[in-house]
Amino acid sequence: MKFPFRRALAAGVLFVSFAFPHPAAAQSVAGPWEGTVVVDSMTIPFRIDITGKANKLEAAFINGDERVTSSRGMQVKDAVELDFDQYAETLRGNLEGGRLKGIIAGKFGPGPRSDLPFEAHRYVPEPNPPAGTVPEIAGLWEIEVKSPKGEDAWRFIVRQTGADVSAAILRVDGDTGALTGRFRDGKFTLSHFSGERPYLLEAALQSDGSLAITLHDHTGVRLLAAYRPADARTKGLPEPTDPAQQTRVADATKPFEFSFPDISGRTVSNTDARFLGKVVLVNITGSWCPNCHDEAPFLAQLYDKYRTRGLEIVALDFEEPEQIADLTRLRWFVQHYGIHYTVLVGGDPDGVDKKIPQLIHLNSWPTTVFIGRDGRVKSVHAGFASPASGDFNGRLKAEFSARVEALLAEPVASQ
């Protein structure tokens, strides 16, 4: 989506006065900002850093070590526009009295596109609270929950430096991205917003050593309790769901079948010569899916490392109808992450279970299917733990690599 003043600029037409109400030289928008954005009646804190000037602005949403960067940006007088092609979103704002106000336009989850109002001010670090007043909550916790995917527990992974905290909730389908924040008013307040994944979480340490958590997300507000793993076992609470057990194949004796068009429209099938006798990872994904963005760089590296030894990766991509028309966001996805493996377009995410009928309980984005040289499914892994999940990310990468190595070591079946 293009901002109207961009076309006017290209044509050499003067901007109308209502678009840029301040005729004097505008203050540069460059620098760190913090503010709030309203998503589904939730007010979510966010951080964004902006650099450059004029028609060469760059920006990044900041969530701990995570940076979601803009594709392009510009400032004309007091008006600012920043495009984030990875989520087909645009931030549009005006500087007003030293504050930046406007909307973030895009498609945030299911339903039509929408405009999210935001307001931001220059970032100023908070002073540290008095020594000894901040409780220690760093480490691993388990959140008791009943999720639509059948989970009884999520992992809550916390890193802490004084009053500053970075954390992630790791579910069977992946994590929340980095939730960041500080201790204030007797509780830890953390949030995440990167153009996607809006979360607000409050955690207060209780006298029994548990955490009382208030989680605001797209489902509403939930009051949850978190325990250290040993305490969770003592209470008889189930462990978090094993991602390797979430989805299974209906009949492991049959070859795994797929047949979909690639980005250019040419149909690609599992029976094509390029896949015969190869180890194949079928990755069920979508460019709308934040956890799929987390996984894509790793799969690209895995393919480049093992392709000469017989590995093929096939992404079965499912997009909303408005994206299927031109695949703009998917093309960005492929280019940005340096994807050299096969990418096929499966259609609408709502129809994924009908288009991939060989998998049972397929409800996680992404899901990766490991297929041996004989064309049969050897294992299925739901979700992806991003770097925000700390050691779980490293373990998952090592596990994927080990599975690929083991499958590549198997002999090629005679044809």
User: Which domains are present in the chain?
Assistant: 4-122 (2.40.128), 139-234 (2.40.128.120), 248-409 (3.40.30.10)
Distances (CA, A) of 408 to 196, 281, 330: 37, 12, 29
Tens digits of per-residue pLDDT, 301-350? Answer: 999 999 999 999 999 999 988 888 889 899 999 999 999 999 999 999 98
Q: What is the pLDDT of residue 415?
A: 52
Q: What is the pLDDT of residue 7?
A: 35
Dist CA 276 CA 333 (whole Å): 27
pTM above 0.85, yes or no: yes
Dist CA 172 CA 247 (whole Å): 10
Cβ-contact 296, 332 below 8 angstroms: no
Which residues fall within 8 angstroms of residue 291, CB to CB, at 6 or more apart? 173, 174, 175, 365, 366, 383, 384, 386
Number of Cβ atoms within 10 Å of the Cβ of 25: 8
300: phi then psi, degrees, rounded to nearest 5: -60, -40
Q: What is the pLDDT of residue 219?
A: 86
Q: What is the pLDDT of residue 4?
A: 36
Burial zone of 38 (CB within 10 Å; 0-12 exposed, 13-18 middle, 19+ buried): middle
Cβ-contact 78, 20 below 8 angstroms: yes
pLDDT tier, 112 (very low <50, low <70, confident <90, very high otherwise) = low
Tens digits of per-residue pLDDT, 248-258? Answer: 999 999 999 99
Bridge partners of 312, per DSSP, are 280
Dist CA 241 CA 238 (whole Å): 8
Alpha helices (runs of H) in 187-266, residue ranges in sequence order: 229-234
